[in-house]
Amino acid sequence: MAYNGYLIKTGSTTIPFRYIKFDSYSITPNSRLDLDSYRNANGVLIREVLEHTATQVVFTTPPMDLADMQAFVSLLKTNFTSDIERKCALTYYDMENDVYATGNFYMPDIKWSIYHANSSNIKYNPTEVSFIEY
């Protein structure tokens, strides 16, 4: 299956393009995982590569005001399958294989940064969001 009009879904919800700063969107699909790899006495790398791979998806939001940021965070939280782990099912476009893939991911802590606040609104700087596959 080739590209089908979206980059990423959490649960069954597509993350709208308005929440993604395109020049920041990056994906590392199918990262190989090593277990006890080492260099031998001759300096040759001996790799023990696991069958399981782990994808990472990272993007930055554009600057947003309070209402937009609350809507974005709500979209993410609504699709958590475990709140404590910030775990979710993620479907993403895998550029390496030209397919959509689905896996279980967690979302690491987000660092929130504002550039303006007044008595009625907060304006947020671009915010980096990451998803790392289990």
Give 51-78 pLDDT, tens digit per residue.
877 899 999 999 999 999 999 999 999 9
121 lies in some domain = yes
Q: How many domains in the chain? A: 1
115 lies in some domain = yes
pLDDT for the residue numbered 14: 98
2 lies in some domain = no
1 lies in some domain = no
CB 98 within 8 A of CB 105: no
CA distances from 5 to 82, 100, 110, 131 (A): 28, 11, 27, 20
74 lies in some domain = yes
Mean pLDDT of 37-58: 87
pLDDT for the residue numbered 36: 84
Q: Which domain holds residue 30?
A: 8-133
Q: Identify the residue whose tokens are 């790392």.
A: 132
Mean pLDDT of 37-45: 88
3 lies in some domain = no
71 lies in some domain = yes
Three-state secondary structure string covering 11-30: CCEECCHHHCEEEEEEEEEE
- Please state the pTM of the whole predicted model: 0.86
**Predicted confidence (pLDDT) at residue 1 exceeds the cutoff of 70:** no
**Predicted confidence (pLDDT) at residue 43 exceeds the cutoff of 70:** yes
